[in-house]
């Protein structure tokens, strides 16, 4: 075989392999090779076609990248009209739909009607025309009779086959379907737009429509579009099967992607059951849908039923309640979450959306408020999807009234008056009154009592809820004033349980400075940072008096953590709660400040795993006093892995990375050598 023949054969083999793997991925959702291997095949084909351009053909997988920009879209007349569907809103209207079909077909009570059911995609309808198995035209719906030629753009969509598989397709085959943008792709597209300072899309449907109508196909090629087939235009010869479901199955065999949720159902009860099933799955689907479509499955019956106006009598779209509506913003308020997050909330003129009346909608954070420029008095688009909290999607600027002013972030918490802190580079602003703020009360107390903080055994979530809700505890210091009588009166708290909790509270009074600092819930101060601060300052007084520059001398403490610590102790009410805790007897052993030369493990990262003879917390404290940083996972930065019995995967990873592994005996030998 000569060189040219070998090249042609290899190019054809690569095209067939790539088309096969594309079909497995987009049509059957059963990829058989990795993305890396697919990319390798694709690059090999690109290289060969680049070296031998005379062998490039229009339907090669490499020709999806997009052609030169168009001046405008040409108008296309559809061989058969692209019809709309009648809508049904509710089970009663669905019942009317079947009653009309039964009357027109003159069916008696025993004769059943089968329907092909599938989710109604929220995208852009498209007609694809294949001649001799090759894609020759793609057109939008337009007015139903005439649409726009978007062939160059549709060719860039990987899910659309440029050439049909097999050889038993009809010579002329038009299929109808929906071009849509999956949710993940939509989110990534908007993130990229925001990074570039460009306008973002309102929803995936607008993004899909805007992408398909780009005059430059190379821009469309960069958009994450996909496609599902659901019907037919002109087919010669026709039909290709006796039922809608069998016809769609044939399309799938020819390489056209169809919804994996298609199902044949029987009668109106089958339709309603399917609709309810899809409603349950809706929010988990990777793409947006706005209802369910039901089509009489028997094609002879479809022909008997015919059409009315611009819609077939044999099909209906059972629509979901509207998820987006327009309304007016009456005011914007700021709510404080249980972790102190400040969330702007739009108070709305009530509107029915997503099946419920909505009067409030989240604006997420100040970055979103500024990006969308939402103001009181604005007309806005509100979205509600399933159980998701309603959100303001966009402002209708054409309806904005004069005299409105942008919203600014308040400087004080609307609940407790503490400073609101929004570190540079972070989206979320927070109230700094964690120990004092009523909005954060339950979470602050739960954290204070947790095992790695004050370790108050028996003080669980439900008990904290009761204590706060009955007004027995306003801040962590109040825990130490509880009486047995108060506790015994709570749900599921007998005298013994009450006494056990009082004993645990008394025991918790003896702690360490590091545990105490961690228990205060200072933003960004975790266990390791609390230990570093305790090692650096030794006393609470010294820490409280330190400024940001002094705090940043502590290992692992940067400007953000330093700012949070200063802000916390600057609040008078936080200092008051700390004083109350000291007054009720919370204390810890005083230790001498340690210089760097007294911390021989400073800069060392250690991981502890497996079963050891002593408490991990005690071992951890000993190592932290010597300057070590304790982390939970093994990485290249890990210096030592302390491995007890049944160390498991962390030991295996340490061995792979060459991390030094110490058993308990080796650990104690190390500690002894450092004294």
* Domains of the chain, residue spans: 3-64, 87-319, 324-399, 410-593, 596-673
Radius of gyration of the chain, Cα coordinates, nearest whole angstrom: 33
Rounded to an integer, what distance in angstroms lies between the CA atom of residue 497 and that of residue 494? 5
**36 by DSSP, 3-state: which?**
helix
Rounded to an integer, what distance in angstroms lies between the CA atom of residue 16 and that of residue 10? 10
Write down the pLDDT at residue 36.
67
Rounded to an integer, what distance in angstroms lies between the CA atom of residue 207 and that of residue 118? 23
Asked if residues 626 and 603 have their Cβ atoms less than 8 Å apart, the reply is: no
Write down the pLDDT at residue 630.
81
Write down the pLDDT at residue 505.
95
Cis, bond preceding 237 (omega within 30 deg of 0): yes
Rounded to an integer, what distance in angstroms lies between the CA atom of residue 606 and that of residue 631? 6
Question: Mean pLDDT in runs of 10 for the chain (675 residues)?
Answer: 74 83 63 70 79 77 57 81 84 91 88 93 91 91 84 87 90 93 87 75 78 77 88 91 94 92 93 92 88 94 84 89 84 87 92 81 87 92 71 88 89 91 81 85 90 90 90 93 91 88 94 92 86 88 93 84 90 91 91 63 86 77 78 85 84 88 86 76
Instruction: Please say whether the dihedral angle defined by the alpha carbons of residues 492, 493, 495 and 497, taken in this order, is positive or negative.
Output: positive
Residues linked to residue 44 through DSSP beta bridges, in sequence order:
none
Closest CA to 455 of 497, 518, 499: 518
Rounded to an integer, what distance in angstroms lies between the CA atom of residue 427 and that of residue 255? 45
DSSP state of 262: -
Alpha helices in 509-608 (DSSP H): 513-519, 527-537, 540-545, 548-551, 559-570, 572-583
Residue 473: HSE in the Cβ half-sphere, 13 Å Cα cutoff = 29
Asked if residues 415 and 431 have their Cβ atoms less than 8 Å apart, the reply is: yes
Write down the pLDDT at residue 72.
65
Residues linked to residue 135 through DSSP beta bridges, in sequence order:
130
Buried b (16+ CB within 10 A) or exposed e, 546-583: bebebbeebbebeeebbbbbbbbbebebbeebbebbee
pTM (predicted TM-score): 0.49
Write down the pLDDT at residue 1.
44
Rounded to an integer, what distance in angstroms lies between the CA atom of residue 462 and that of residue 435? 19
Alpha-carbon distances, residue 292 vs 100, 382, 411 (angstroms)? 19, 23, 48
Class of domain 3-64: mainly alpha
Closest CA to 520 of 570, 581, 467, 604: 581
Torsion, Cα 98 101 107 110, to 10 degrees, reads -20
Is domain 324-399 given the CATH code 3.40.190.80 in the classification? Answer: no
The architecture in CATH of the region 87-319 reads: 2-Layer Sandwich (3.30)
Q: Determine whether 357 is exposed, middle or buried from the number of CB atoms within 10 Å of its CB (0-12, 13-18, 19+).
A: exposed
Rounded to an integer, what distance in angstroms lies between the CA atom of residue 420 and that of residue 414? 9
Closest CA to 446 of 423, 425, 483, 475: 475
Active-site positions read: 120
DSSP per-residue codes, 618-650:
HHHHHHHHTTPEEESS--TT--EEEE-BT-THH
Cis, bond preceding 564 (omega within 30 deg of 0): no
Q: Which two tokens stand for residue 566?
A: 């200063």
Is domain 596-673 given the CATH code 3.40.50.10190 in the classification? Answer: yes
Closest CA to 173 of 146, 137, 148: 137
SS3 content of the chain, % helix, strand, coil (to 5): 40, 20, 40
Buried b (16+ CB within 10 A) or exposed e, 125-155: bbbbbbeebebebbbbbbeeeebbbbbbbbb
Rounded to an integer, what distance in angstroms lies between the CA atom of residue 284 and that of residue 617? 41
DSSP per-residue codes, 77-113:
E-SS------EE-SHHHHHHHHHHHHHHHT--TT---
Residues linked to residue 640 through DSSP beta bridges, in sequence order:
606, 660
Rounded to an integer, what distance in angstroms lies between the CA atom of residue 77 and that of residue 99? 35
Write down the pLDDT at residue 66.
46
Write down the pLDDT at residue 61.
74
Beta-strand ranges (E) seen in 320-411 are: 324-336, 341-353, 356-362, 379-383, 391-395
Contacts by 183-186 with C-beta closer than 8 Å and gap 24+?
Answer: 183/286, 183/287, 183/288, 184/224, 184/286, 185/223, 185/224, 185/225, 185/226, 186/224
Class of domain 410-593: mainly alpha
Element (DSSP H or E) covering residue 672: helix 664-673
Helices 204-212 and 183-195: crossing angle in degrees, nearest 10, is 80
């Amino acid at each position: 075989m000569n060189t040219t023949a070998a090249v042609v054969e290899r190019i054809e083999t690569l095209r067939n392999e790539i088309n096969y793997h594309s079909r497995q991925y987009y049509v059957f959702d059963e990829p058989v090779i990795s993305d890396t291997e697919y990319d390798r095949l694709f690059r090999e084909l690109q290289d060969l076609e680049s070296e031998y351009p005379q062998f490039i053909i229009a339907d090669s997988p490499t020709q999806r990248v997009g052609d030169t920009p168009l001046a405008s879209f040409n108008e296309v007349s559809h061989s058969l009209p692209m019809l709309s569907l009648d809508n049904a809103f509710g089970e009663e209207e669905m019942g009317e739909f079947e009653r009309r079909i039964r009357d027109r077909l003159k069916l008696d009570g025993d004769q059943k009607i089968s329907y092909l059911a599938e989710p109604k995609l929220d995208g852009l309808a498209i007609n694809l025309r294949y001649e001799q198995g090759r894609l020759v035209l793609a057109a939008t719906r337009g007015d139903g009779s005439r649409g726009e030629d978007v062939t160059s753009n549709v060719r860039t969509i990987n899910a659309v086959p440029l050439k049909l598989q097999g050889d038993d397709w009809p010579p002329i085959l038009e299929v109808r379907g929906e071009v849509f943008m999956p949710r993940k792709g939509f989110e990534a597209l908007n993130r990229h737009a925001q990074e570039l300072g460009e306008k973002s899309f309102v929803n995936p449907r607008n993004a899909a429509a805007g992408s398909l109508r780009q005059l430059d196909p190379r821009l469309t090629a960069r958009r994450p579009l996909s496609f599902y087939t659901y019907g037919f235009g002109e087919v010669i010869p026709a039909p290709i099967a006796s039922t809608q479901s069998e016809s769609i199955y044939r399309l799938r065999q020819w390489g056209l992607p169809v919804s994996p949720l298609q199902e044949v159902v029987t009668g109106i009860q089958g339709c309603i059951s399917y609709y309810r099933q899809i409603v349950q799955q809706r929010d988990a689907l990777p793409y947006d849908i706005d209802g369910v479509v039901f089509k009489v499955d028997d094609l002879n019956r479809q022909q008997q039923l015919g059409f009315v106006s611009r819609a077939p009598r044999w099909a209906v779209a059972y629509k979901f309640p509207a998820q987006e509506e327009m309304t007016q913003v009456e005011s914007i308020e700021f709510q404080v979450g249980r972790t102190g997050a400040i969330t702007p909330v739009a108070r709305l003129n009530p509107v029915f959306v997503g099946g419920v009346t909505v009067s409030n909608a989240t604006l997420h954070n100040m970055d979103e408020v500024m990006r969308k420029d939402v103001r009181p008095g604005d007309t806005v688009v509100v979205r509600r999807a399933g159980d998701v909290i309603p959100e303001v999607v966009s402002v209708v600027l054409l309806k904005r009234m004069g005299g409105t002013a942008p919203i600014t972030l308040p400087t004080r918490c609307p609940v407790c008056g503490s400073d609101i802190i929004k570190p540079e580079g972070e989206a979320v602003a927070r109230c700094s009154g964690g120990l004092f703020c009523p909005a954060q009360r339950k979470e602050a107390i739960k954290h204070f009592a947790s095992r790695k903080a004050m370790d108050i055994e028996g003080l669980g979530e439900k008990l904290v809820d009761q204590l706060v809700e009955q007004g027995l505890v306003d801040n962590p210091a109040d825990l130490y004033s509880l009486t047995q009588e108060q506790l015994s009166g709570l749900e599921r708290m007998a005298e013994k349980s009450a006494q056990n909790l009082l004993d645990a509270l008394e025991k918790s009074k003896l702690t360490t400075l590091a545990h105490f600092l961690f228990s205060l819930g200072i933003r960004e101060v975790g266990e390791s940072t609390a230990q570093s601060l305790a090692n650096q300052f030794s006393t609470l007084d010294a820490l409280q008096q330190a400024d940001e520059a002094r705090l940043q001398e502590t290992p692992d403490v940067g400007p953000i953590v330093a700012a949070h610590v200063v802000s916390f102790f600057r609040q008078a009410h936080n200092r008051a709660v700390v004083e109350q805790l000291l007054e009720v007897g919370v204390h810890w052993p005083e230790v001498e400040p340690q210089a760097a030369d007294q911390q021989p493990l400073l800069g060392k990262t250690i991981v502890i795993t497996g079963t050891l003879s002593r408490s991990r917390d005690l071992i951890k404290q000993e190592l932290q006093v010597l300057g070590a940083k304790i982390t939970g996972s093994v990485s290249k930065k890990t210096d030592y892995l302390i491995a007890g019995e049944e160390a498991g995967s962390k030991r295996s990873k340490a061995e792979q990375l060459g991390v030094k592994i110490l058993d308990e005996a080796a650990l104690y030998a190390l500690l002894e050598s450092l004294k």
